[in-house]
Amino acid sequence: MSERLSVLIAEDNAADRLLLSAIVTREGHRALTAADGQEALELFCRERPQLVLMDALMPVMDGFEAARLIKLAAGETLVPIIFLTSLTENDALVHCLEVGDDFLAKPYNRVILGAKIRAMDRLRRLQQTVLEQRDLIAKHNEHLVAEQRVAKAVFDKVAHSGCLNAPNIRYLQSPYALFNGDLMLAAYKPSGGMHVLLGDFTGHGLPAAIGAMPLAEVFYGMTTKGYGLADILREVNAKLKRILPVGVFCCATLINLSFHRRVVEVWNGGLPDGYLLRGGSNERIPLVSRHLPLGVLEPAVFDEKYEVYPLLEGDRLLLLSDGLLETRNHAGELFGEQRLLDLMAANEQRGQLFDEVQQALSAFRGETQDDVSLIELSLIEEARSSPLTFSNDGNDTPLDWSACFEFRAETLKHMNPLPYLLQLLLEVQGLRSQVGALYTVLVELYSNALEHGVLRLDSSLKRDVQGFAQYYGERRERLARLEEGFVRFHLELRPEHGGGRLIMRVEDSGGGFDLAAARACEQAAEQLHGRGLKLVSQLAEKSDWENDGRGVSVEFSWSAQA
Amino acid sequence: MAITSQASDDGQELTILIQGRFDFGAHQEFRDAYERISTSPKRYVIDLKGATYLDSSALGMLLLLRDHAGGESAAISLINCSPDVRKILTISNFEQLFRIS
């Protein structure tokens, strides 16, 4: 039935030793015998029997001492020790159970001894199973931790290729946030300004981290190529929907900060309210979740509509995942939304808010803030520090060509053509070092042509915050209704003194505008106004507005490469 | 955590009653509640009267049920939501996918 055991019998009485040995052998086990404690210990160390029958009182070394040393030598393995004793006082019997595992009173009963050996063997095997399982679990865990370490190292490379260290960003994030499903990404746009994403995947561990990779790739890739928020959101949603199983999704807020244009675009799907805090007043605009999380909806019904707010110097944006609100203190209370609202209400210096929240959190919770992801963004005049780098492939591309693109109503409605133009122009090595200025000028001229030319929006609307919202609401509606109109880009590339020159003319189907008035308006521009024309004149080497205001041409040049 | 389900007499509607914390621990039980039934209901009602807590895994489980019930054409109502539960559903904009009351 059960396996054959080696049983060590330590008994100073030779007759008893013989009797016990006979019983053990008849039970089907192998008997080893010792005449005193010392001998028993030596025999144990040599033969490693699975079970010990130990006389309590023996010469040289008594049974209690021998039992203690045998247990020590056995380590984690359970070697059951049954004391053989003629002692009857309670204290002595209790001592047997403290040092050993059971006792058997003399005179010996063959049936009882056999049963006790079987019972002790069950106990021994139970312990053995527990130890094996423990070691197996430890091994699995070790594997898992090693895998996570590798995954984290790979992911850190991807995540940290962005610009979370930019001077206008402050953030709080656990080093293992990825495995809590939290994700924080920031990348410079070619036109200056940046995209920032705070995401929170369903669940924990590797399943939560798995969607982060493709999301980060799409976010960085498309931002670098000049795509806008709407395109990135559509692509990320479609990708996550396609690859993630049903029920796994990503709550996220995506932010587009435009330093030049001084606006912020916000899309929140499933994260708690973020906040736009005005620097000059107590005003606090909640950035509310108006969408389903990313990866839930089919691409056809996904809604990438974002909100647009003017952004002033000194304003702050605060984004958070639910880890902050769900932080608990020792008493089990939640940090909660109200504490955060109170902190913001009490805040006097916007520049201190981030520290105040962090301090309040530490004071509330005590030690580390493991599951908290918090990010603060502000506006700075120019945060760009050579955002894009290109490898020089050494092949000079043809520099003598011209092309004309006309984007008509249906295209204007549904896509942003600028990334395509930018990709085309960046084929020209000499323009790559000017990518920032070039893209900013493209963006300004395109928005100008689209908004004022094709859609005939009045930029003086943007005089105050209310008008600002109205302006962008109107923009959305007019664009949706657009049936005709065009924006045309004429691109001409000419070789010049070993280098070259780009001449770009932009026209639109609008009625043109009064250049003098537009210039005057720009001069008096308040902070909320577009500063487009001025920016274009500053960034392009040459810029000419046609007198009817329907077209503009700009030039960029480069010299021979060293 | 206890999840029980009850089909209507005509078998057209299945009501799933959630008690306690509705989180990842309820995963298997919740699936069993709509997979291991003999009827094929047209409508589902999730009664959250006894749900004390709901997390993002629970939202994921609701999406799985929605998928099981036909995706876009699924008819699923979430009823008796406490203010806390309601808030989580609102932040995630789940009212776009489920009837919530």
Verify whether the Cβ–Cβ distance A200 to B61 is below 8 Å: no
- Euclidean distance between CA atoms A4 and B37, whole angstroms: 51
pLDDT by residue (tens digit) across A49-105?
Answer: 999 999 988 888 999 999 999 999 999 999 999 999 888 888 889 999 999 999 998
Q: Tell me, yes or no, if B24 comes closer than 8 A to chain A by beta carbon.
A: yes
Q: DSSP state, A295? A: T
Verify whether the Cβ–Cβ distance B64 to A202 is below 8 Å: no
- Asked whether residue A332 carries a pLDDT value surpassing 70, the answer given is yes
* Contacts across the A-B interface (CB distance below 8 Å): 46
Nearest CA-CA partner of A108 in A22, A28, A8: A22
Q: Which of B60, B90, B96 sits opposite A249 (nearest CB)?
A: B60
User: What is the per-residue pLDDT for A266?
Assistant: 96
CATH superfamily of B2-100: STAS domain (3.30.750.24)
Q: Tell me, yes or no, if B53 comes closer than 8 A to chain A by beta carbon.
A: no
Ranges in chain B, pLDDT < 50: none
Q: Which of A126-135, A188-197, A421-430, A462-471 has the weakest average pLDDT? A: A462-471
Q: Which of A248, A269, A298 sits opposite B93 (nearest CB)?
A: A269
Q: Tell me, yes or no, if A291 comes closer than 8 A to chain B by beta carbon.
A: yes
pLDDT by residue (tens digit) across A341-350?
Answer: 999 999 888 8
Q: Which of B57, B93, B96 sits opposite A202 (nearest CB)?
A: B57
User: What is the per-residue pLDDT for A526?
Assistant: 42
pLDDT by residue (tens digit) across A363-382?
Answer: 888 765 567 889 999 887 65
pLDDT band at A516 (very low <50, low <70, confident <90, very high): low
Contact predicate A161/A387, CB 8 Å: no
CA atoms B53, B54, B55, B57: torsion sign:
positive
- Asked whether residue A466 carries a pLDDT value surpassing 90, the answer given is no
Task: Write out chain B residues lying below 8 Å of A203, CB-based.
Answer: 24, 56-57, 60
Verify whether the Cβ–Cβ distance B96 to A292 is below 8 Å: yes
Q: Tell me, yes or no, if A336 comes closer than 8 A to chain B by beta carbon.
A: no
- Asked whether residue A390 carries a pLDDT value surpassing 80, the answer given is no
- Residue to test with chain B: of A204, A240, A246, most B Cβ within 10 A: A246
Q: What is the pTM of this model?
A: 0.73
Query: Taking the domains of chain B in order of start, what are their residue ranges?
Result: 2-100
Q: How far is A285 from chain B (nearest CA, A)?
A: 16
Verify whether the Cβ–Cβ distance A247 to B64 is below 8 Å: yes
Q: Tell me, yes or no, if B95 comes closer than 8 A to chain A by beta carbon.
A: no
* Contacts of residue A147, Cβ cutoff 8 Å, sequence gap at least 6: A206
Q: How far is A296 from chain B (nearest CA, A)?
A: 8
Verify whether the Cβ–Cβ distance A296 to B97 is below 8 Å: yes
Task: Write out chain A residues lying below 8 Å of B56, CB-based.
Answer: 200, 202-203, 251
- Residue to test with chain B: of A292, A305, A321, A334, most B Cβ within 10 A: A292
Verify whether the Cβ–Cβ distance A292 to B94 is below 8 Å: yes
Q: Which of B60, B63, B91 sits opposite A272 (nearest CB)?
A: B91
> What pairing do the DSSP bridges indicate for beta strands A263-269 and A250-258?
antiparallel
**Bridge partners for A186 per DSSP:** A196
User: What is the per-residue pLDDT for A129?
Assistant: 96
- Starting at the edge strand found earlier in the chain, the sheet holding B13-22 runs B2-7, B13-22, B43-54, B76-79, B99-100
User: What is the per-residue pLDDT for A562?
Assistant: 47
Q: How far is A205 from chain B (nearest CA, A)?
A: 13
Q: How does A21-44 read in b/e, with b if 16+ C-beta sit within 10 Å?
A: bebbeebebebbbbbbbbbbbebb
Q: How far is B9 from chain A (nearest CA, A)?
A: 30
Q: Tell me, yes or no, if B52 comes closer than 8 A to chain A by beta carbon.
A: no
Higher-pLDDT residue of A16 and A204 is: A16
Verify whether the Cβ–Cβ distance A289 to B96 is below 8 Å: no
- Above pLDDT 90, what percent of chain A? 47
Verify whether the Cβ–Cβ distance A246 to B67 is below 8 Å: yes
pLDDT band at A383 (very low <50, low <70, confident <90, very high): very low
* Most confident option among A144-153, A165-174, A356-365, B74-83: B74-83
* Contacts of residue A554, Cβ cutoff 8 Å, sequence gap at least 6: A441, A445, A503, A504, A506, A536, A540, A541, A542, A543, A544
**Long-range contacts (CB closer than 8 Å, 24 or more residues apart) made by B72-76:** B72/A298, B74/B44, B75/B42, B75/B43, B75/B44, B75/B99, B76/B43, B76/B44, B76/B45, B76/B46
Task: Write out chain B residues lying below 8 Å of A251, CB-based.
Answer: 56, 91-92
Q: Tell me, yes or no, if B61 comes closer than 8 A to chain A by beta carbon.
A: yes
User: What is the per-residue pLDDT for A314?
Assistant: 87
- Mean pLDDT, range A131-144, rounded to an integer: 94
In chain A, whose CA is at the least distance from the CA of B95? A292
Average pLDDT, chain A: 86
Q: Tell me, yes or no, if B58 comes closer than 8 A to chain A by beta carbon.
A: no
Verify whether the Cβ–Cβ distance B60 to A247 is below 8 Å: yes
Query: Domains in chain A, ordered, with CATH?
Result: 6-130 (3.40.50.2300), 160-384 (3.60.40.10), 401-559 (3.30.565.10)
Verify whether the Cβ–Cβ distance B93 to A248 is below 8 Å: no
- Euclidean distance between CA atoms A312 and A245, whole angstroms: 41
Task: Write out chain B residues lying below 8 Å of A324, CB-based.
Answer: none
Higher-pLDDT residue of A10 and A148 is: A10
- Above pLDDT 70, what percent of chain A? 90
User: What is the per-residue pLDDT for A384?
Assistant: 47
Axis crossing angle, helix A212-224 with helix A110-159, rounded to the nearest 10: 0
Contact predicate A222/A197, CB 8 Å: no
Q: Tell me, yes or no, if B91 comes closer than 8 A to chain A by beta carbon.
A: yes
Task: Write out chain B residues lying below 8 Å of A202, CB-based.
Answer: 56-57, 59-60
Q: Which of B24, B63, B91 sits opposite A296 (nearest CB)?
A: B63
In chain B, whose CA is at the least distance from the CA of A207? B57
* Contacts of residue A479, Cβ cutoff 8 Å, sequence gap at least 6: A412, A413, A455
Q: Tell me, yes or no, if A304 comes closer than 8 A to chain B by beta carbon.
A: no
Q: How far is A132 from chain B (nearest CA, A)?
A: 27
* Contacts of residue A139, Cβ cutoff 8 Å, sequence gap at least 6: none
